[in-house]
Structure 1
Amino acid sequence: MGYELYYWNGLQGRGEFVRLALEEAGADYVDVTRQPERGTSEMLALLKSDSEPHLPFAPPILKDGEILVSHVANILAYLGPKLGLAPRDEAERWFANGLQLTITDFVAEVHDTHHPIATGKYYEDQKPEAKARSAAFISERIPKFLGYFERVLNQNPKGNRHAVGDRLTTVDLSLFQVLEGLAYAFPKAMARVSGQYPALEALQAMVGTRPNIAAYRASPGRLPFNEDGIFRHYPELDVG
């Protein structure tokens, strides 16, 4: 029996970080809410369960037999060794997990550029605040995070092709997704810093052309970015 992934249908969102790992490894999995006979109702039933002892708070959720794992970094820490996408060395595995948690922080800040006041309010209800938040994000937070990950790549003693160790890990896949998302959400801002993070740009190109990832990107399974996900393109928020 393959893995079961629970995430909101119709958008990449945080579930995409898990999908990329599963796709790269060629793993057998089912995107539950995209199955007509199962759908979002099955995920909601799990989230609202009054009997599940390992009750998850929110998707994405991975089910592996009787095991339920939630939160992106936690799921990838679970999947990495199983899929051959984790460092072999214990110290490197913990470092990779720390990088994944830092990516989680970065993604949360991306979300807050278009929802700085309240998740429950529409973007249109907080546009002035979103514009101010996005300007600060572009000028301060993008350089801080990308500068850090660029240093991580360049200081990898085994070469700057990968974030950790000498082979592809879930961290590389997640950095690829972040860079793709930023290019969609803030094309002008990202064009302005083109060339400033050469190791990250090389990693993005490397991951994007891996056979399984390239095939997935060309398939219907890879949904396009849209304005219901984390990475949203609102021209008024993109400072070039």
Structure 2
Amino acid sequence: MTYDLFYWPGLPGRGEFVRLVLEAAGADYREMNRVPAEAGGGMAAMSAYLDGEQGPQIPFAPPFLRDGNLVLAQTPVIVAHLGETLGLAPEAPGDRLFARQIATTTADLVAEAHDVHHPVGVGLYYEDQKPEAARRASEFRESRMPKFLGWYEAILKANPAGSTWLVGDRMSYADLGLFQVWQGLRYAFPRRMAVLAPDFLAISDLAERVAGQPRLAAYLASARRQPFNEDGIFRHYPELDGE
């Protein structure tokens, strides 16, 4: 089975949460923005799905995944489907639901991180909303970041199987999402994270374990891993960072 991932070229963004699950599972997949148009890829192929030309399962926005005849959008839905299909999800029904809850909350955090630099409108440039972004960044740094990170830390410490992973006794897609968020926040807010990190050692340890998984270590060292940049969700604007 080859999965087809549709996302914008040159961005880690929300697509990276999907890539991490695919890479951790050793799954065969294609980045459709890198597939030639004559082979069914490229931006025209993505647009055809978004315009409803490829059937009734119309995605609202990328990322979306083609799994055979199934088309899935929304990052938490995609990663849960992949995790539960590829062996990167808890086995118990209740734990599976909890992992989905974590992934959905991670998506909320990602949206808030994005809105730091685009608090007025996604169609406007950052330069068009700098005063509002500065105000939003202050609240995000001081209140929202510790609130979200404290929740993850509490989950790790409360896990009956131990504080190694968020749910159960093995790595799941929920852990991969937390890893990406942790890395993204460190990139976007290095000064703030330097202050906060000592209070969240369980998360820091989890991120190291994820990065040390053989498949993920190889992926993170490869050209397939797209670096954070100022066109993505986690952007480093020094004026928005602070202790």
Counterpart code for 1:2: T
Counterparts of 1:219 and 1:201, CA distance in 2: 22
List structure 1 segments (4+ residues) > 6 angstroms apart after TM superposition: none
Counterpart code for 1:11: L
Which residue of structure 2 aligns with residue 47 of structure 1?
Answer: 50
Which residue of structure 1 aligns with residue 13 of structure 2?
Answer: 13
Which residue of structure 2 aligns with residue 137 of structure 1?
Answer: 140
Counterparts of 1:219 and 1:194, CA distance in 2: 27
- The CA deviation string for residues 149-203 of structure 1, in whole angstroms up to 9 with x for no partner, is 0000000000000000011100000000000000000000001112110110000
Shift of 1:82: 1.2
Counterparts of 2:116 and 2:108, CA distance in 1: 13
Counterparts of 2:154 and 2:53, CA distance in 1: 46
The correspondence of residues 137-216 of structure 1 with structure 2, limited to 5 A, is 137-216=140-219
TM-score (norm 2): 0.97
TM-score (norm 1): 0.98
Cα root mean square deviation, aligned: 0.9
Shift of 1:34: 1.9
Task: Give percent identity, aligned residues only.
Answer: 52
Which residue of structure 1 aligns with residue 75 of structure 2?
Answer: 72
- The CA deviation string for residues 175-233 of structure 1, in whole angstroms up to 9 with x for no partner, is 00000000000000001112110110000110011111111111111011001100000
Which residue of structure 1 aligns with residue 35 of structure 2?
Answer: 35
SS of the equivalent of 2:176 reads: helix
Counterparts of 2:190 and 2:100, CA distance in 1: 29
Counterparts of 1:46 and 1:83, CA distance in 2: 25
Unmatched segments (≥5 aa) in structure 2? none
Shift of 1:107: 0.5
Which residue of structure 2 aligns with residue 3 of structure 1?
Answer: 3
Counterpart code for 1:114: H
Counterpart code for 1:17: F
Counterparts of 1:176 and 1:12, CA distance in 2: 13
Unmatched segments (≥5 aa) in structure 1? none
Taking a change above 3 Å as real, the CA distance of residues 51 and 172 of structure 1, as seen in their structure-2 partners, is closer
SS of the equivalent of 2:207 reads: helix
